[in-house]
C-alpha cells in the first residue's frame, strides 16, 4: 500500500474554496456542512483522545465561520431553494463556459454521482474541462468523484474458496459493475485517467462509497419511515436478507473527503466503508427493534419492486452482497469517526439523528376537566390534526388485558417447552387483576391501571409520534406515579423540583372548565341514543361530578402537580364555546401547541386532499352556475311577465283611445250625414254623369247652386 503523501507547507494554512454539487440534497448537504466547519489541514494533526470521544456528539448547529475553514461553493438541484447558510456562493449558469470559470477558481471540486446518477454527465464534463485548462492553473487543483460500491457488485471473489475475504483498494482493477451502474464505472475510469497527466497541477480521486446512513437518512429512509409510522405489521426485508451491505455514515464519508483535501494521498482509488459486515436482515431487524415493533417480514424481490417510495437504484443497492474493507482510509487517515462500527452498534445515536434532522419529535399533551365537558371530542380533533395517539382509559385497559390474555394462552400451550418466564408472569398478573376486579365491584385498582398506562406511553408508537391523554391522570397521586422517573434515587436532595420521566411528561396540559349547571344542561340536551348505556345520565353525571370535585379541590387538584414542575396548565372556559364540535377550543389549543412535528400528509393523503378540494371547487362552481341559471331564469320569466303586462296595457290603451275617438266622431258624422253628404253625394253623381273637364269646378258650382240654405 502506498504511503500517504502530504503537501503541506510550514506556517498557517489559509482557507480554501471547495465546490460541492447539489448542496440541497442529502449527500451534498451533509458533506458541505461538515467541510464548512473543518479547518484546512486539521486532519493532518493527530486526533486527541478528548476530541475523539466528543466526535460523535458534535453539534449540527451552524455557527459563525471559523478562521481558516473550507469555503463551500455549491450548486442546487432545485434552483428555487434558498442558499444554505453555510454555503458561501451558489453557482448557477446555463452556459458551461461560465460555470467552468467558477470551478477553476476552486481549489477542490467534489462531484457526487452516488446519490443522483443524472450528475454523471456533468461530472465527466467538469473533470474533462478542468483537465483541458490545467496548464493555466496558477495553483494545484483537485477533483474528487464520489461513486458507489455498486461498481464492484459483480466482482469475482478474491479467493473462490473463501468468499468471506473482503475486497480492498488494491483490488479496484478487478471490479465488475452492476448492470445498472456501468455509467458510474466509466466516469471512475475517466477521472483516474485524467489525473495522471500532470499530478503537480491537477490530481484526481475516486471514492467508492458504501451505502450511506445517518442524518435524515437516504437509502435506508424507506425502512426508517415505515418503522417510525408503525402502520405496517412488520418491517419488510427483501429476499432472504443474508446479503452483506457495505455501509458508511455520511459524516464519515465527509471525513474521508476532508483527509483527501488536506493530505493529497498518492492512492487515487479509495474505499469509504465502516467496520461493519452487517446483513440486510440484521439491519432491518435492528431498525424494527429500536424504532418499530421489532417484527420483520421477508418478502420476495418481485414484491419489493412494487413498494411505494423505493426506487430501482435503492432496490439494487439493498440487494447487493459485498464484503469490503477500506484498509487505506483506516490505516492512513485521521478520521474522527462518528460510526466506525456501523449502524447496529450505533443505532440509538443514528435514530436520534434521524428524528432530529427530519423534525420527527413527539408531541405530548394532556386534556383534563370534569365529566361531560367535552374532553374526548377535543382530544379526538387534536389527535386527528397532529396525527397523535388518543389515550383513553377504556382503550388502554382493554388493550392491556388482551395482550395479557394472549400471553397467558401461550403459557398454557407451552407448558412442556422452554419459556423465558414472561408468559407465566403475565398469566399470574392477569389472575391477580381478575381477583382485584371481582373484589372491587368490577373496577381495576389504580396500581394496575397505572402500569398499563406506563407501558402504553413507553410504547414505540407513543414515543415516535406522541400522544394526548384524555382525562387521565385524575388525581395528584396518580400523576406522581404515572410520570415518576425510573432513577428517582439519583435526584439531587437540594433540588426543589422533583425529577420526572421526560419521555412521557406532557408538554401541554389543558384544563377544560365549566360549572356543574352548564354540564347538567349539556347532558340533558344530548340525544337519547347517545346517552343510552353510558354514564351520561342524570344519576351517573351527578355521581361522577361529586367524585371529580372531591379530588380536585383547590389544594389537591392534579393541576398543582404540573404547576410544581413549571408545566403550567392552560385554563379554558368551555361555556364560551358555541360550536357543537368545539372548533374554537381546538383552534385555541392548536395555536398553543404549534406546528405538527411529523412527516405531514403522505402522497396518498395529498392526492386525497387535492381530490377533495377539487370536488369542493367543482361542487361550488356547479352550485354557482345553477344559482346563476336560476337567477337568469327568474329574471327572464319576470321580464316576459312584464312585457306581457305591458302589451296588455298598451292594447287596452289603444282600445280605449279608439273607443274615445269613435265616441267623439258620432256628432260630426251625424252632422255630415244630415247637412253635407246628401248634397255632396248628389253633386258627385251629377259630376260622374256630365264628366266635365274641370270636375272640381263643376262640383263647386253644383254645390253652390243646390245649397239647401240658399233655397
* Contact by Cβ (8 Å): 596, 382: no
% of the chain beyond a pLDDT of 90 = 57
If pLDDT is split at 50, 70 and 90, which confidence band does 388 have? very high
Task: Judge whether 153 and 181 are in contact, CB under 8 Å.
Answer: yes
What sections of 205-249 are H helices per DSSP?
221-229
Element (H, E) at 211: strand 211-213
- Supply the pLDDT for residue 499: 84
Q: Does residue 556 or residue 47 have the better pLDDT?
A: 556
In the numeric block, which cell numbers belong to residue 543? Answer: 355521581
Residue range 276-302, pLDDT digits in tens: 999 999 999 999 999 998 999 999 988
Does residue 57 carry a pLDDT above 60? no
Mean pLDDT for the stretch of residues 127-145: 92
pLDDT at res. 318: 93
d(CA 220, CA 296): 15
Grid cell in block for residue 370: 370534569
* Cell representation of residue 520: 347538567
Q: Quickly state the pLDDT bin for 552 (edges 50, 70, 90).
A: confident
Please state, in angstroms and rounded to a whole number, the distance separating the CA atoms of residues 694 and 675. 25
Taking the CA atoms of 29, 30, 31 and 37 in sequence, report the sign of the dihedral they define.
positive
**Nearest one of 147, 167, 143 to 156, comparing CA atoms:** 167
Does residue 417 have a pLDDT over 70? no
Could you tell me the pLDDT band of residue 531, with boundaries at 50, 70 and 90?
A: low
Report which of residues 335 and 539 the model is more confident about. 335
Q: Contact at 8 Å (CB) between 448 and 436? A: yes
Residue 494, pLDDT score:
53
Q: With 50 as the cut, is the pLDDT of residue 551 above it?
A: yes
Q: Say which range, 238-252, 366-380, 437-451, has the weakest mean pLDDT.
A: 437-451
Q: Mapping DSSP to helix (H, G, I), strand (E, B) and coil, where does residue 641 land?
A: helix
Residue 55 has pLDDT above 60, yes or no: no
CA distance 471 to 628: 50
Q: Say which residue, 368 or 499, is predicted with more confidence.
A: 368
Average pLDDT over residues 656-684: 86
The confidence score (pLDDT) of residue 408 equals 81
Segment holding 436, helix H or strand E: helix 422-439
Strands 570-573 and 141-148: unpaired
Residue with cell 406522581: 480
Q: What is the pLDDT of residues 428-472, one digit of tens each?
A: 888 888 888 888 888 889 899 999 999 999 999 999 999 999 999
Query: Residue 533 pLDDT more than 90?
Result: no
pLDDT computed for residue 264 by the predictor: 92
Alpha-carbon distance 300 to 226, whole Å? 18
Query: Which of 37-51, 68-82, 133-147, 212-226 shows the lowest per-residue confidence on average (mean pLDDT)?
Result: 37-51
pLDDT at 96: 84
**Residue 420 above 80 pLDDT?**
no
Helices (H) and strands (E) in the chain, counts: 26, 16
Give residue-wise pLDDT tens across range 319-361.
999 999 999 999 999 999 999 999 999 999 999 999 999 989 9
- Going from the N-terminus, what domains does the chain have, and what CATH number goes with each? 17-217+247-275+324-339 (3.40.50.720), 365-593 (3.40.50.300), 603-705 (no CATH)
Element (DSSP H or E) covering residue 28: helix 26-36
Cα 473 to Cα 483: distance, rounded to the nearest angstrom: 10
- For 189-209, the pLDDT digits (tens) are 999 999 998 888 999 999 999
What are 655's three cell numbers? 282600445
Task: Round to whole Å and give the CA distance between 613 and 621.
Answer: 12
The three-state secondary structure class of 487 is coil
Question: Among 501-515, 576-590, 622-636, whose mean pLDDT is lowest?
Answer: 576-590
The C-alpha atoms of residue 661 and residue 663 are separated, in whole angstroms, by 5
Q: Provide the pLDDT for residue 532.
A: 60
pLDDT at 1 over 50: no
Q: Are strands 202-209 and 247-249 parallel, antiparallel or unpaired?
A: unpaired
Give mean pLDDT, residues 656-678: 86
The band of 411, judged by pLDDT with boundaries at 50, 70 and 90, is low
Asked if the peptide bond before residue 274 counts as cis, ω within 30 degrees of 0, the response is no
- Burial level of 266, CB count in 10 A (0-12/13-18/19+)? middle
Query: DSSP string of 305-370?
Result: HT-TT--HHHHHHHT----B--HHHHHH-----SSTT-TGGGHHHHHHHHHHHHT---EEEEEE-S
* Mean pLDDT, residues 541-549: 87
Give the residue-averaged pLDDT of 69-85: 92
CA–CA separation, 614 and 227 (whole Å)? 32
Give pLDDT tens digits for 303-321. Answer: 888 877 788 888 999 999 9
Residue appearing with cell numbers 303586462: 645
Q: In what order do the strands lie in the sheet with 141-148?
A: 87-90, 71-74, 17-20, 108-112, 141-148, 202-209, 269-272
**pLDDT(2) > 90:** no
* Secondary structure class of 130 (helix, strand, coil): helix
Burial class (CB in 10 A: 0-12, 13-18, 19+), 644: exposed
Is pLDDT at 61 greater than 80 in this prediction?
Answer: no
pTM for this one? Answer: 0.77
Instruction: Work out the pLDDT band at 4, boundaries 50, 70, 90.
Output: very low
Q: pLDDT at position 536, please?
A: 66
The pLDDT score that the predictor gives to residue 8 is 40
Q: Please name which of 403, 453, 393 lies closest in space to residue 429, comparing C-alpha atoms.
A: 403
> Is there a cis peptide before residue 473, judged by omega within 30 degrees of 0?
yes
What would the mean pLDDT of 133-159 be, rounded to a whole number? 92
Q: Using CA of residue 538, residue 541, residue 547, residue 552, what is the dihedral sign?
A: negative
Rounded to 5 degrees, φ, ψ at 569 are -65, 150
> How far lies 230's CA from each of 28, 80, 137, 295, 401, in Å?
30, 34, 55, 11, 21
pLDDT higher than threshold 50 for residue 3: no
Q: Is the pLDDT of residue 606 over 80?
A: no
**Quick count: other Cβ atoms within 10 Å of Cβ 708?**
8
Tell me which of 39-53, 592-606, 696-710 is least confident: 39-53
By the 8 A CB rule, do 18 and 110 touch?
yes
CA quadruple 496, 502, 505, 507: dihedral positive or negative? Answer: positive
Q: Region 530-548: what's the mean pLDDT? A: 75
In the predicted structure, residue 79 carries a pLDDT above the cut 60:
yes
Question: In which order are the strands placed within the sheet that holds 570-573?
Answer: 389-391, 466-470, 363-368, 508-513, 570-573
> Three cell numbers at 513?
372548565
| Whether the Cβ atoms of residue 384 and residue 373 lie closer than 8 Å to each other | no
User: What's the confidence (pLDDT) of residue 59?
Assistant: 44
pLDDT given at position 62:
47
Q: Is 589's pLDDT higher than 90?
A: yes
Cell 402502520, residue?
231
Amino acid at each position: 500500500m502506498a504511503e500517504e503523501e502530504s503537501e503541506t507547507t510550514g506556517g498557517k494554512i489559509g482557507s480554501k474554496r471547495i465546490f460541492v454539487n447539489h448542496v440541497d440534497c442529502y449527500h451534498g448537504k451533509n458533506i458541505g456542512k461538515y467541510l464548512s466547519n473543518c479547518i484546512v489541514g486539521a486532519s493532518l494533526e493527530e486526533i486527541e483522545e478528548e476530541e475523539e470521544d466528543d466526535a460523535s456528539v458534535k453539534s449540527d448547529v451552524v455557527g459563525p465561520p471559523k478562521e481558516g475553514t473550507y469555503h463551500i461553493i455549491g450548486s442546487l438541484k432545485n434552483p428555487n431553494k434558498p442558499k444554505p447558510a453555510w454555503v458561501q456562493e451558489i453557482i448557477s449558469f446555463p452556459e458551461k463556459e461560465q460555470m467552468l470559470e467558477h470551478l477553476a477558481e476552486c481549489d477542490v471540486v467534489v462531484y457526487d454521482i452516488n446519490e443522483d446518477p443524472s450528475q454523471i454527465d456533468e461530472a465527466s464534463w467538469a473533470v474533462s474541462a478542468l483537465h483541458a485548462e490545467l496548464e493555466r492553473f496558477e495553483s494545484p487543483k483537485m477533483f474528487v468523484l464520489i461513486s458507489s460500491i455498486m461498481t464492484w457488485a459483480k466482482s469475482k471473489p478474491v479467493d473462490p474458496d473463501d468468499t468471506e475475504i473482503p475486497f480492498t483498494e488494491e483490488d479496484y482493477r478487478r471490479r465488475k459493475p452492476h448492470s445498472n451502474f456501468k455509467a458510474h464505472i466509466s466516469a471512475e475510469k475517466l477521472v483516474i485517467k485524467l489525473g495522471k497527466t500532470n499530478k503537480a497541477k491537477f490530481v484526481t480521486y475516486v471514492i467508492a462509497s458504501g451505502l450511506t446512513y445517518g442524518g435524515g437518512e437516504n437509502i435506508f429512509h424507506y425502512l426508517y419511515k415505515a418503522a417510525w409510522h408503525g402502520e405496517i405489521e412488520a418491517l419488510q426485508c427483501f429476499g432472504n436478507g443474508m446479503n452483506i451491505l457495505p455501509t458508511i455514515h455520511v459524516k464519515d464519508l465527509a471525513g474521508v473527503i476532508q483527509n483527501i483535501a488536506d493530505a493529497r494521498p498518492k492512492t487515487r482509488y479509495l474505499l469509504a466503508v465502516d467496520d461493519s459486515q452487517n446483513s440486510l436482515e440484521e439491519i432491518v431487524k435492528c431498525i424494527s427493534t429500536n424504532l418499530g415493533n421489532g417484527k420483520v417480514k421477508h418478502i420476495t424481490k418481485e414484491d419489493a419492486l412494487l413498494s411505494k417510495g423505493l426506487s430501482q437504484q435503492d432496490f439494487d443497492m439493498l440487494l447487493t452482497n459485498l464484503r469490503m474493507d477500506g484498509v487505506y482510509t483506516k490505516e492512513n487517515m485521521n478520521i474522527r469517526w462518528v460510526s466506525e462500527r456501523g449502524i447496529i452498534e450505533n443505532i440509538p445515536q443514528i435514530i436520534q439523528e434521524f428524528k432530529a434532522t427530519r423534525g420527527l419529535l413527539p408531541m405530548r399533551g394532556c386534556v383534563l376537566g370534569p365529566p361531560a365537558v367535552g374532553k374526548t371530542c377535543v382530544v379526538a380533533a387534536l389527535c386527528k390534526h397532529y396525527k397523535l395517539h388518543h389515550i383513553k382509559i377504556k382503550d388502554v385497559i382493554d388493550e392491556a388485558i388482551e395482550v395479557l390474555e394472549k400471553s397467558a394462552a401461550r403459557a398454557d400451550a407451552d407448558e412442556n417447552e422452554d419459556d423465558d418466564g414472561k408468559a407465566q408472569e403475565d398469566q399470574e398478573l392477569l389472575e391477580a387483576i381478575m381477583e382485584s376486579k371481582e373484589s372491587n365491584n368490577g373496577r381495576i385498582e389504580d396500581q394496575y391501571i397505572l402500569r398499563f398506562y406506563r407501558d402504553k406511553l413507553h410504547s414505540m408508537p407513543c414515543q415516535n409520534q406522541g400522544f394526548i391523554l384524555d382525562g387521565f391522570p385524575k388525581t395528584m397521586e396518580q400523576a406522581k406515579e404515572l410520570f415518576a422517573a425510573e432513577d428517582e434515587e439519583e435526584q439531587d436532595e437540594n433540588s426543589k423540583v422533583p425529577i420526572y420521566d421526560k419521555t412521557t411528561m406532557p408538554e401541554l396540559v389543558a384544563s377544560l372548565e365549566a360549572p356543574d349547571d352548564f354540564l347538567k344542561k349539556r347532558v340533558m340536551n344530548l340525544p337519547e341514543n347517545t346517552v343510552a348505556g353510558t354514564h351520561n345520565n342524570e344519576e351517573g353525571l351527578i355521581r361522577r361530578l361529586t367524585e371529580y370535585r372531591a379530588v380536585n379541590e383547590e389544594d389537591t387538584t392534579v393541576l398543582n402537580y404540573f404547576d410544581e414542575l413549571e408545566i403550567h396548565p392552560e385554563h379554558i372556559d368551555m361555556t364560551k364555546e358555541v360550536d357543537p364540535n368545539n372548533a374554537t377550543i381546538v383552534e385555541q389549543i392548536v395555536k398553543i401547541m404549534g406546528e405538527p412535528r411529523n412527516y405531514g400528509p403522505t402522497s396518498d393523503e395529498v392526492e386525497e386532499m387535492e381530490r377533495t378540494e377539487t370536488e369542493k371547487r367543482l361542487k361550488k362552481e356547479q352550485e354557482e352556475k345553477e344559482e346563476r341559471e336560476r337567477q337568469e331564469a327568474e329574471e327572464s320569466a319576470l321580464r316576459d311577465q312584464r312585457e306581457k303586462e305591458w302589451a296588455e296595457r298598451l292594447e287596452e290603451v289603444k282600445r280605449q283611445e279608439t273607443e274615445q275617438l269613435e265616441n267623439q266622431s258620432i256628432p260630426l258624422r251625424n252632422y255630415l250625414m244630415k247637412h253635407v253628404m246628401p248634397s255632396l253625394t248628389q253633386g258627385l253623381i251629377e259630376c260622374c254623369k256630365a264628366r266635365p273637364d274641370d270636375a272640381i269646378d263643376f262640383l263647386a258650382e253644383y254645390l253652390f247652386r243646390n245649397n239647401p240654405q240658399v233655397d
